[in-house]
């Protein structure tokens, strides 16, 4: 089976992925690092990481597009993406676990005022604040897919009351986690939560969801944690909500433009914690096995895992 590896990354990162894949691919598989000098009609699988638009055109025998990233919004935004070819996103247990660790850190830091104490340290200010119990700190998780369920489960195991929201009724549930869906349920949930974590997929329905109207529905002073996509957030509306006290603190891992511009207001804002898109990185050691499992399923004619519904956008 001939595979094409392509994406927007540094050559060193591409070569590392190639080494991991070649080290695990069995006999009969050939991995190509780009299209130059190859027979396009021989390519059956494209293993991609946000490839430039048009990269997958002219591959007449393409049978699978396997993404190495969890988000596929950029891929779906490519008008030249071959129609009818199955598209699988990366669902890596290690990535989900890393996301749950980041979410727990963010919630615990807001719940116990650790970010405020860090700021006080820089000012040499000794000032204790009231301490809440975990069961007094309700958390709202937006998005109840693979990562959302693991995040919700991890927080619930730490004693936080967790409510998970999705646009439609979730297919699966998590013990000790309540789930709701629909616009009316979202407004009610926002009014109660002390920390809101966004893990929604980016679709036309969720683009710009975190806006002035959203923040006005939040409990005054509640924290925001955006681990989804930068396009979920209206940055100007968040800055206004922070300055008005509507949002107490924001942990932001994703942005409309990355890397974040040096003169962006988020860098110096005392109520914003900036992460350079590192909440949950794909780990080749485990992600490669996800790719191999789908290759095996393709070869044997079995159902493929983690297929994207193009109409829904995830």
Q: How many angstroms separate the CA atoms of 296 and 302, rounded?
A: 8
State the sign of the Cα–Cα–Cα–Cα dihedral 73, 79, 84, 86: negative
Q: How many angstroms separate the CA atoms of 20 and 186, rounded?
A: 42
Q: How many angstroms separate the CA atoms of 63 and 70, rounded?
A: 20
The DSSP line for 217-240 is HSPTTEEEEE-S-GGGB-HHHHHH
Which residues are tagged catalytic? 229, 277
DSSP secondary structure letter of residue 76: H
Q: Which residues pair with 307 in a beta bridge?
A: 88
Q: Map residue 198 onto helix, strand or coil.
A: strand
Q: What is the dihedral of CA 98, 104, 105, 106, to 10 degrees?
A: 110
Q: Return phi, psi of residue 224, to 5°.
A: -120, 140
Q: Which residues pair with 199 in a beta bridge?
A: none
Name the nearest CA neighbour of 48 among 69, 77, 74, 73. 69
Q: Return phi, psi of residue 126, to 5°.
A: -100, 100
3-state DSSP of 236-271? HHHHHHHHHCCEEEEEECCCCCCCCCCCCHHHHCCC
């Amino acid at each position: 089976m001939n595979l094409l590896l392509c994406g927007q990354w540094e050559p060193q990162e591409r070569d590392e992925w190639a080494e991991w894949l070649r080290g695990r691919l069995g006999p009969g598989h050939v991995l190509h690092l780009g299209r130059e000098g190859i027979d396009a009609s021989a390519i059956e699988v494209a293993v991609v990481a946000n490839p430039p638009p048009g990269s997958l055109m002219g591959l007449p025998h393409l049978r699978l597009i396997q993404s190495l990233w969890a988000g596929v919004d950029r891929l779906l935004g490519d008008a030249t993406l071959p129609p009818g070819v199955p598209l699988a996103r990366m669902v890596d247990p290690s990535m989900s676990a890393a996301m749950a660790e980041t979410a727990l850190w963010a919630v615990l830091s807001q719940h116990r005022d650790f970010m405020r104490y860090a700021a006080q340290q820089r000012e040499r200010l000794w000032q204790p604040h009231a301490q809440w119990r975990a069961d007094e700190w309700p958390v709202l998780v937006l998005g109840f897919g693979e990562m959302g369920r693991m995040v919700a489960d991890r927080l619930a195991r730490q004693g936080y009351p967790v409510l998970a929201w999705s646009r439609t009724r979730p297919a699966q549930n998590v013990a000790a986690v309540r789930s709701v869906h629909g616009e009316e349920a979202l407004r009610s949930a926002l009014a109660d939560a002390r920390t809101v974590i966004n893990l929604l997929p980016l679709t036309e329905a969720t683009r710009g969801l975190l806006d002035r109207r959203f923040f006005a529905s939040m409990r005054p002073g509640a924290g925001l944690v955006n681990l989804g996509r930068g396009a979920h957030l209206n940055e100007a509306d968040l800055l206004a909500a922070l300055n008005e006290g509507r949002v107490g603190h924001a942990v932001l891992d994703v942005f409309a433009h990355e890397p974040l511009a040096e003169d962006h207001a988020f860098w110096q804002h005392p109520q914003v914690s900036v992460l350079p898109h590192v909440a949950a990185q794909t780990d080749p050691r485990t992600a490669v096995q996800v790719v191999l499992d789908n290759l095996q399923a393709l070869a044997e004619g079995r159902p493929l895992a983690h297929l994207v519904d193009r109409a829904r956008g995830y």
